[in-house]
Structure 1
Amino acid sequence: MAVPCLSMFYRQSLMPGLNALMSLQSRNIYYDRNTCRPHSHPEVLKRYFRLRWGGWIRARPGFKRHLWKKPFWLRSWAIQHVFVKDKEREMLEKMISADYKRSRYFIDDIYEPYHRRTDIDICPPGQRKVCKSYIRSIESLN
């Protein structure tokens, strides 16, 4: 009668813990060797664009692939940019340095309509969103 190896029992007992550890995502923080300050993740700068109000946009996945066999309406849909979700936005904010978060102004910026979050210039203090009652009160003043 063969005796089972003890390492097999250890492997089976550790599997649930290992699976939990394997599912956790880790992000690399890049540091400059000379100044010892963190700098931005290069993949974030390549794939995403940060708007002045803190939002992030990205291109649709696969928008450059197989354009010859996509219909015209799907080609125009594929070149559109989409906003990222809040969880992803928080992760991206941690992966870039403070230097990249500064507002930059360019001549003939194609993203200029998206840099303003709403049609209203000023949001109420302490709020991220503008409620409809606030909009009505501003319209009544005009």
Structure 2
Amino acid sequence: MLSLLKNAAGLLSAPSISSSVIGARGIARIPHWEYHIRMDNKVGKKRVAQDVLDRFKRLNNGMWIHARPGKNKQRYMKDDHFQETSLYYETCTKRECEMLDKMMTPFWLQKRFYVDDPYKNYQVRHGLDSPRVDAKGHFIRERSKILMDDTTSLKYFKDR
């Protein structure tokens, strides 16, 4: 019994993994859920996060949109309301937009214009080209609040 305890104590005190095996935390070992800025070793410049380009779309007004989470998961089990609303896009918060901008290079932050743009409805913000918050994060009213019928709004506002 005593020899078993000495053997177990020896196993516990011996390092199971040498320090040479545990390397520095390289780019390949960073978990995908952490927000980080990748650098290119050859050029020495910031590298874009491909996950952001795949999952998000940057609008010309600086806001980012993304598809609703779980929009394609088990659609047969969801109700009709979810079937309709799952096809909509969601806008990111101010903090998320700033974070996503930091993960992009200036090339991807430029305004882009396409023929028959499917995101045309999301691009228009009644003449504003910035998000609806000021530097302090307070909501800014785009225009004075008015009530009007659809024909008048279609006549004066070309956002539909």
Q: Classify the TM-score, shorter chain.
A: 0.5 to 0.7
Distance in 2, matches of 1:38 and 1:64, equals: 33
Partner of 1:132: 144
Distance, in Å, in 1 between the alignment partners of 2:62 and 2:81 is 30
1:41 alignment partner in structure 2: 49
The within-5 A match list for 1:1-142 is 27-118=35-126, 120=127, 130-132=142-144
Paired with 1:122 and 1:54, the residues of 2 have a C-alpha distance of 7
Give SS of 1:99's match. Answer: coil
Larger Rg: 2
Shift of 1:121: 6.5
C-alpha displacement of 1:72: 2.5
AA aligned opposite 2:92 = V
TM-score, normalised relative to structure 1: 0.64
Counterpart position of 2:17: none
Structure 2 length-normalised TM: 0.58
Pick closer, same or farther for the CA change 1:26–1:71 going to 2, 3 Å: closer
User: C-alpha distance in 2, partners of 1:76/1:129?
Assistant: 29
Q: Structure 1: how far apart are the matches of 2:124 and 2:40?
A: 33
Return 5+ residue gaps in structure 1 as ranges. Answer: 1-24, 134-141
1:93-129 Cα offsets, whole Å, 9 max, x none, are 11111110011111211001211222x3689xxx775
- Please state whether the residue corresponding to 2:108 is helix, strand or coil: helix
Kindly tell me the number of residue pairs found equivalent between the two proteins.
106
| Long gaps (5+) in structure 2 | 1-32, 135-139, 146-155
Q: Which amino acid aligns with 2:41?
A: R
CA distance in structure 2 between the partners assigned to 1:85 and 1:38 by the alignment: 24
Q: Judging changes above 3 Å, is the alpha-carbon distance between structure 1 residues 105 and 77 closer, same or farther for their aligned structure 2 residues? A: same
Q: Residue 8 of structure 1 corresponds to which residue in structure 2? A: none
Report Cα offsets for 1:47-85 as digits up to 9, x if no partner.
111000101111111001001122232111111101111
- Aligned partner of residue 132 in structure 1, secondary structure: coil
Does the Cα contact within 8 Å between 2:61 and 2:129 map onto a contact in 1? Answer: no
